[in-house]
Every structure is written in C-alpha cells, then in structure tokens.
Structure 1
Amino acid sequence: MSLLDVVPRGWAESSLGDVADIRSGPSGAAVKTDDRSADGVGMIAPKDLHDGRVQPDAVSRVRADVAAALAPYTVVLDDIVVTRTGTVGRLAWIPSACNGWLFSTSLMRVRPHRVVSRYLAYYLALPEAQEWVRRRARGTAVPSMSAAVLAGLPVVLPPLEDQQEIARALALLDAQVEAHATLSRLAAQTRNTLAGMMMRGERPDRLALRG
C-alpha cells in the first residue's frame, strides 16, 4: 500500500533501495579528537541539518589525510543525508558547496540513481515518510535505523517530467522560506542593537536605521 494511500494513474511505486544507493556513516572511532582541523574537510553531522538544508557555519572539519582515508563516506551534489540515530529521519539535500565533504557515523547517505534527487528529498520529508521511519526505528533510549530497513521505504514515482516540475515548485518555496528566515534574522539583530542603544538613553529619532 502506498504511503500516500493512492498511486495516481501513470505513476509507479518502488522502494527506496531500488531507486537509490544507501550507505551508513563510518565507525564512530574513525575520527579522533586530534584528527580535527579548522581548515580541513567538512564532516556533516545531525546538528548541521536544518529544514532540509546543511548549515555549514558550525560544521566540524578533519585533516585532509583523514578525509582521504574516509573517501567512501563523502557526499556530492544531489546526495541526501538522513539521520540514523536519535531523531531518525531528519534529512538534508546536498548542494554543490558540500561536494567532497564527509558524513558522520550518525548519518546515512542516500544517492539517487533512478529518481530526481530534489523530488526524493521532498518526498522523504513528507509526514507520512517520516512516520514510516519513526515506526521502524529500533532501540529504547536511542532509536536507530539501519540502511537495510530504510531501503524498504515505499516511494511514489511520478513520470520524470512530473518529478522535475514538483521539485522546481517546492524549491521556489524553499527559496522564499530562506529569504524570510534571513529577513527575520536581520530584523532580530536590528532589534537587539536598537534595544541596547535606547536603553543607554539614545532616542530612536536620532538613529539612522536601514531595513
């Protein structure tokens, strides 16, 4: 049965493992504390995933030689990373800016090969897909998800041109969300600056504020 209750005429249904390669992250012992380097190769962790994107500002980095030894655990444009421990199922689509970065032990890499990557990322973020993952996560204190289990997730597949159209429409909305988030952050910064100045006795009519 489809996760979405119905498969429209002309569409198909498959499993995630049939339309993408899935790999779990490296062993937790693969990167040691002294392997870190401020100017090294980025290693994406669950903390870096926000609203379907990788937030690069606080990404940990490792030395180039360590990254080379972990080459099978790199990401490229159009990959998707998914959390496999803790809050399982959180995900991010990989942009070109993250090409060659590593993904951590708490993530899985989903590399699409028979489906439009952005479409698949939005599909995996659907509440129905997230609920499917949560129901199959194992463990008590710390839920976890294996690549083999995730591979069984049912995926609804429109024709390729429909996948592309859906992905484009949702990406436009994503861009609007990001623009509003940026505006909100700037407004908060301006508010905090203004509050500090006013509470030092400066009057707003003396301030030259730019929106």
Structure 2
Amino acid sequence: MSLLDVVPRGWAESILGDVADIRSGPSGASVRQQDRSADGVGMIAPKDVRDGRVHTDAVSRVRADVAATLASYTVAADDILVTRTGTVGRLAWVPASCDGWLYSTGLMRVRPYQVVSRYLTYYLALPEAQEWVRRRARGTAVPSISAAVLAGLPVMLPPVHHQREIAAALALLDEQVEVHDALSRLAGRTRDRLAGMLMRGESPGRLVFPG
C-alpha cells in the first residue's frame, strides 16, 4: 500500500480517512455576491491556496450573518486545505491567523486527529501523493476528486516524535524560502523603479538594493 515503496522499521501505514476528518466545501450557491462584505469573515478559495500556504492578500470576505449559517465550513489552526477541482491536490496548511474563517466550494478541509498536522501537510505535498491524487481525479474539462476518494490515500506514519522532527526541519526550510521570495519581489520592484527612472533620463540618486 505504501506510496514510497518502503516502510521503515517502527513506522506504520494507514489511510488518510483513518487519521483525519475530511469535509468538502459548501456548494457555490451558498454564498451570493450580495453576501460579500469588505469587513466580513474571510472565505478561502482555491486561488488563495498556493505553495503550501494560505495567501490572504486577495481573500474574499462574507458578511458575519451569512458566515454564521456556514459555521460547519470553518477552518481552525492546523487544518489542511486541499483543492478538489481544477488543479486537484494543491494544498495549504492553515495558520492561527485564519482560525474561524470559511473555506469555499472547490476545497476540502482535512482536519488531522491522529497525525501531526505539519507532517501530514508535507506528506500530502510529496510528488508520490500528488500523483496518487491526480490519477484518481475524474472529469476531463474540470478534473475533480471527492472526499471519499481522498480518504483512501495511503499515509506513512512514523512515531509522533519523528513526525514533529520532520515537520520542524521542513518548516525551517519553508521559512528560508519565504525570505528569499520576499527579497526577490523587492528586487523586482527596485528594478522596475530604476528602469523607469533611467529610461526617462532621471538620476536615481542613491538606491538601496536588497541584500
């Protein structure tokens, strides 16, 4: 059953549905355009799930009274969101800053209860796990996968202390990636500003370059 063709001594195997609760998002008709509000409750959509993170810069928001009717579709810190339509299998770990937000149609909420959340997030991002999901997606124009199918995904379970060690090591690398991404974006903005000035014959003066 193992996706990785090996089960180290002392490790166990299970399936996702036995170590986490999986729930699909509400139907698209549950939230109408008039239900949205700039100061409402955040609603995470598939577009906000990228690179293992929830990107909140362009998240939609829903009126508090409407959000109350969708209370069963909220996320908590340490949940995992997985796209279930389109580019299936893209995922994000939910930070504490998004606790109590909603998740939309097109997503599934995976709530671990017998496995370390960050470890499971990294496991689900493995190429082997992603390929497993893609192969089981149905549809041609818009591929999709159901919660029932995702529940059957094989999961490798090292001892809990080892799960935490693996998650901590990979999270440290994630932090470094975020720093480098931020520097890259800053360098890009600096380049664009400098190009505009130089090509207008303006003197840039003293620029501070990201280092």
Q: Distance in 2 between matches of 1:105 and 1:152?
A: 21
Deviation at 1:27, TM superposition (A): 1.1
The RMSD of aligned alpha carbons is 0.8
Deviation at 1:102, TM superposition (A): 0.4
Q: Which position in structure 2 is the counterpart of 1:195? A: 195
Q: Distance in 2 between matches of 1:145 and 1:50?
A: 18
Deviation at 1:210, TM superposition (A): 4.6
Q: Which position in structure 1 is the counterpart of 2:71? A: 71
Q: Which runs of 4+ in 1 moved over 3 A?
A: none
- One-letter code of the match for 1:92? A
Q: Which position in structure 1 is the counterpart of 2:27? A: 27
Encode CA deviations 1:95-120: one digit per residue, 9 max, x unaligned: 00100000001000000000000000
Q: Distance in 2 between matches of 1:178 and 1:31?
A: 32
Q: Distance in 1 between matches of 2:15 and 2:208?
A: 54
Equivalent positions of 1:97-112 (< 5 A) are 97-112=97-112
Name the SS for the 2:143 alignment partner.
coil
Name the SS for the 2:135 alignment partner.
helix
Equivalent positions of 1:199-210 (< 5 A) are 199-204=199-204, 206-210=205-209
Q: Distance in 1 between matches of 2:178 and 2:209?
A: 20
Gaps of 5+ in 2: none
Q: Which position in structure 2 is the counterpart of 1:149? A: 149
1:62 has 2:62 as partner: yes
Q: Could you say if the C-alpha distance between residues 210 and 139 of structure 1 is closer, same or farther in structure 2, counting changes exceeding 3 Å?
A: closer
- One-letter code of the match for 2:149? V
8 Å contact from structure 2 (residues 13, 157) kept in 1? yes
Deviation at 1:139, TM superposition (A): 1.0
Gaps of 5+ in 1: none
8 Å contact from structure 2 (residues 79, 109) kept in 1? yes
Deviation at 1:207, TM superposition (A): 2.9
Deviation at 1:141, TM superposition (A): 1.0
Encode CA deviations 1:22-59: one digit per residue, 9 max, x unaligned: 00000111000100101101110110011000000000
Deviation at 1:164, TM superposition (A): 0.1
Q: Which position in structure 2 is the counterpart of 1:88? A: 88
Q: TM-score when scaled to structure 1? A: 0.98
8 Å contact from structure 2 (residues 187, 209) kept in 1? no
Equivalent positions of 1:137-176 (< 5 A) are 137-176=137-176
Encode CA deviations 1:85-139: one digit per residue, 9 max, x unaligned: 1110000000001000000010000000000000000000000000000000111
Encode CA deviations 1:155-209: one digit per residue, 9 max, x unaligned: 00000000000000000000000000000000001111111111111235x3343
- One-letter code of the match for 1:209? V
Q: TM-score when scaled to structure 2? A: 0.98
Q: Distance in 2 between matches of 1:156 and 1:142?
A: 30
Q: Distance in 1 between matches of 2:150 and 2:56?
A: 26
Q: Which position in structure 2 is the counterpart of 1:118? A: 118
Q: Distance in 1 between matches of 2:20 and 2:126?
A: 18
Name the SS for the 2:121 alignment partner.
helix
- One-letter code of the match for 1:94? V
